[in-house]
Chains A and B, each alone.
Chain A
Amino acid sequence: MSYKLTYKPYGVHAVLIEWPKQIDTAILDDLLHFKDLILKKNRNTILEVRSAYNSLLVVYVLEVVDFKTAFVELQNIYQSNTDVLKTESRLWKIPVCYDAHFGIDLEYISKVKNCSEESIITRHASAIYTVYFIGFLPGFLYLGGLDSVLFTPRKSTPRLKIEKGAVAIGGNQTGIYPQESPGGWNVIGNSPITFFDATKEQPCFAKAGDKIQFYSISLQEYNQIKTLVEAKVYQLESEVLYD
């Protein structure tokens, strides 16, 4: 807990806390630790603490009457160095079918990168990605850790419809569309997993700080898993991560 942070009002209900302008896992760890501390101290006065790459938004139940006091209170928590039990992080193994049926932009990426479709799949499925936060759409994970060879600019004209489950690359990011949506990313496969279930108390299985790894499955396996997912009996593979 040693970063120089800035505190700003954001509307009348929230304080925005900002870390240095960079994307890295040390900042992520620090802000998630701070988030745990804030929630432990002020559970009743806080509606929610939201996180992004290098910022936290502390949303209070009531209007903030005096922002200066709120800032000091948060600064004291940041400097208190209290030990909280670190929220358990998990590594999730996500099946992805990279078959040409789903991977409609694999051929294009293979052409512009001058490498085989197999090597693109291998590179995409061998990395371990960090979940930075959830945003954009319900259940959309912002993932860090894409192999730089795979960086591909977004399409100049977005597609009107990208399928639910589409695994795609946009610039230096990769992600999974949790629902059908317009989008400008390059689609390389599809995952049969549900990334957002509104009927669950915790609608997303993954959370900021978790890791994701993709593994390649055949079209036949895709259909089998999809059936189990729809019947709500599929068990996603995961393991606890220890520091």
Chain B
Amino acid sequence: MIKVLKPGFYSSIQDVGRFGFQQYGVPSSGAMDQNAAALANGLLGNSENAAVLEITITGPTLQFNCVTKICLSGADVSPKLNNVPLTNNKLIKVNPNDVLSFGALQTGVRCYLAVSGGFQTERIMGSRSMYRGVTFHYVLKKHDELELNSVTIEAGEQNSRLRIQQSYLESAVLPAFKGPEFDLLSAVQQKQLLSTRFTISKDNNRMAYQLNEPLSNTLEAIITSVVLPGTVQLTPSGKLIILMRDCQTTGGYPRVLQLKESAINSLAQKFTGHEVSFQLNTQY
């Protein structure tokens, strides 16, 4: 079990997501940066769908009450175990009463804490991903207790470290496919969409990221249709909204681009003021 001493800015349990329930209006949710979550799980030998803790910008303070192994991936939030600095992408043995805390954000936005065997928190509709209205808990709060399995760690087991390709954390180019309404844009609008360097607005969260620079827009709203995480919507005012993991299942704005999965992961590591641009992928 882990005791939450401080919850941090926005920490929630996530996994690969909740699938097959979008027809009931349930968002797929899941770790914003699936790449980092998979890496932390992979290094621990967890299954791909093991639940991890997603930490945003300011980390929580957590106290362990069992022996386990942990691994951190994604953003570097200056992690410390009992005040001793830790490194991401490294297996770390944890003992009862150890305290994991975080400091200044160095790179990225979202850090993932995986524990051996994954968090054993409530599972609803095949997923432990927290989402308001679906799971009882939707964000970490002070005094919460997070269930996990205690593990025995064999003597002589070495802590290992892997050198990881982390360039996607910094990448400002978001590869995308055409969205269903892309071809309705004029050639000029398409060029503007694909050549502008956009900045991320202060409205960015697990549901969506808004971009500041408007696009000239002449498209009408569409009849409400399905949307997906990674869909780039063009609003009547010309502002672009990039839908993220907790997005609604339907929407009425034209869908001009669909980000590749890797681009959603990259974007999840950016926030207010960061610049991004789109790169059209014509090959499916």
Contacts and interface: CB of A to CB of B under 8 A. Distances in A.
B230 A11 contact: yes
B23 A134 contact: yes
Contact of A196 (B22, B23, B24, B226): B24
Task: Name, among B134, B222, B225, B260, the residue most crowded by chain A CB atoms within 10 Å (CB to CB).
Answer: B225
A interface, how many residues as a size bin?
Answer: 35 or more
Given A8-B180, A198-B124, A50 B249 contact: yes
* Interface of B, helix, strand, loop or mixed by DSSP: loop
Interface in B216-251: 222-226, 228, 230, 248-250
A229 interface: no
B226 A57 contact: yes
Contact of B225 (A12, A54, A199): A54
* Interface of A, helix, strand, loop or mixed by DSSP: loop
Contact of B20 (A14, A23, A48, A204): A48
A23 B133 CA distance: 29
A57 B226 CA distance: 7
B135 A198 contact: yes
A48 B249 CA distance: 13
B177 A52 contact: no
B interface, how many residues as a size bin?
Answer: 20 to 34
Interface in A210-237: none
Given A136-B250, A137-B25, A140-B25, A53 B223 contact: yes
A203 B223 contact: no
Contacts of A134: 23-25, 249
B124 A53 contact: no
B58 interface: no
A190 interface: no
B258 interface: yes
7 contacts: A12-B177, A50-B22, A53-B225, A57-B226, A138-B25, A140-B25, A198-B125
Interface of A: 8-12, 14, 16, 18, 21-23, 47-55, 57, 59, 64, 67, 133-140, 142, 178-179, 196, 198-199, 203-204
Given A18-B225, A21-B223, A196-B133, 19 more contacts: A10-B180, A10-B228, A10-B255, A11-B228, A12-B284, A14-B228, A21-B222, A22-B223, A48-B19, A49-B23, A50-B22, A50-B226, A51-B23, A52-B224, A59-B22, A135-B226, A136-B248, A199-B124, A203-B26
